């Protein structure tokens, strides 16, 4: 029921945007069409032509504004990044998930002491983690253990990082389940928008792609590890907030050169 409600909200939001845009564009096109028809009919009358041309111009401008706003929305220009302590967020989530995922799923949280803060949009991080936890629950229909964990990690320049991260300090958040896991074909496509293996009405295929989009737009990344029959780990790397670069281990040591 929880997931049904979540997906219903997703689809409702998408439907509202699509419906709103379609309605606006229909109005605009009607105005353009009407004015263009009148220009054709009254082509000999410069006053009318100028008047109706104004309508065509004004309506097209409105169309551009809507497109611009929509693109800004798609680029998540309305996010409010703030300083988040991953430890308290995961602790709070454990409470919520223990109640919402059902008694079959045991929720554990494993935290490294003195985790650095990250700078992300709180709602987006919460939504991403809840979506990942819901996927984990769906992969464990007979119950199992969901583990949320967080450690600090330094990404260096050597080698190619699984999430193509830039060198720097990150908080690495993992959502692990011991459920069904994914076959290689599913794993390869899991983070594609609208890819789902769930029945119609139960899966939108947006959970992983949105979580990945969120992590990347926050300056981090996402990777998925999965073994059929064993379980799945989804890892989110989020960049550490400035001034929080040093963790317990490095706090009294000399700061590495090049670390920002
Ligand atoms: P949805 O959950 O709506 O299907 P997602 O983008 O979150 O959309 O996931 C896409 C697909 O990836 C799922 O349909 C499922 O096949 C697979 N998947 C995601 N998370 C897991 C998981 N923890 N265990 C097994 N399969 C998963």
For the range 17-20, what are the long-range contacts, defined as Cβ-Cβ under 8 Å and sequence gap of 24 or more? 17/70, 17/73
d(CA 95, CA 201): 27
pTM for the full model? 0.70
Q: Is the CB of 204 under 6 A from ligand 1?
A: yes
Burial label, 47 (beta-carbon count in 10 A; 0-12, 13-18, 19+): exposed
Q: Using CA positions, which residue lies closest to atom 7 of ligand 1?
A: 207
- Which residues pair with residue 221 across a beta bridge? 237
d(CA 30, CA 32): 5
pLDDT at 3: 62
pLDDT at 43: 95
**Does residue 165 sit in helix, strand or coil?**
coil
Nearest to 90 by CA among 52, 133, 39: 133
pLDDT at 254: 40
pLDDT at 84: 95
pLDDT at 147: 98
What's the start-to-end Cα distance of the chain, in Å? 44
pLDDT at 119: 93
pLDDT at 25: 82
Q: Is the CB of 146 under 6 A from ligand 1?
A: no
Task: Tell how far the Cα of 221 is from the centroid of ligand 1, in angstroms.
Answer: 18
Query: What sign has the CA pseudo-torsion 255, 256, 258, 260?
Result: negative
pLDDT at 6: 58
Please list the ranges in the chain whose pLDDT falls under 70: 1-17, 19-20, 68-78, 200-204, 244-260
pLDDT at 9: 63
**Helices 207-217 + 122-138 axis angle, to 10:** 150
pLDDT at 22: 77
Measured from the Cβ of residue 189, the count of other Cβ atoms closer than 10 Å reads 14
Measured from the Cβ of residue 165, the count of other Cβ atoms closer than 10 Å reads 20
Burial label, 137 (beta-carbon count in 10 A; 0-12, 13-18, 19+): buried
Q: Using the structure block, give the residue that is written with the tokens 């963790």.
A: 247
* Rg, C-alpha atoms of the chain: 24
Q: Is the CB of 224 under 6 A from ligand 1?
A: no
What ipTM score was computed for the predicted complex, to two decimals? Answer: 0.99
């Amino acid at each position: 029921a929880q997931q049904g409600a979540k997906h219903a909200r997703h689809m409702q939001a998408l439907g509202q945007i699509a419906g709103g845009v379609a309605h606006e564009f229909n109005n605009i096109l009607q105005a353009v069409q009407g004015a263009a028809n009148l220009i054709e009919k009254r082509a000999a009358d410069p006053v009318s032509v100028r008047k109706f041309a104004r309508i065509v111009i004004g309506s097209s401008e409105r169309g551009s504004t809507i497109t611009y706003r929509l693109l800004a929305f798609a680029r998540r220009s309305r996010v409010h990044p703030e300083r988040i302590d991953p430890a308290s967020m995961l602790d709070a989530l454990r409470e919520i998930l223990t109640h919402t995922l059902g008694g079959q799923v045991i929720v554990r949280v494993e935290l490294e002491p003195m985790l650095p803060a990250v700078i992300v949009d709180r709602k987006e991080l919460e939504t991403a983690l809840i979506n990942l936890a819901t996927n984990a629950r769906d992969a464990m229909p007979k119950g199992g253990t969901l583990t949320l964990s967080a450690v600090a990690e330094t990404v260096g320049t050597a080698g190619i990082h699984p999430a193509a991260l830039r060198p720097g300090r990150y908080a690495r958040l993992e959502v692990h389940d011991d459920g069904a896991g994914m076959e290689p074909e599913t794993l390869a496509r899991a983070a594609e928008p609208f890819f789902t293996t769930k029945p119609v009405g139960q899966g939108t295929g947006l959970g992983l792609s949105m979580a990945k989009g969120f992590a990347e737009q926050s300056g981090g990344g996402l990777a998925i590890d999965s073994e059929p029959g064993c379980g799945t780990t989804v890892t989110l790397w989020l960049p550490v907030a400035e001034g929080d670069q040093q963790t317990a281990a490095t706090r009294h040591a000399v700061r590495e050169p090049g670390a920002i």
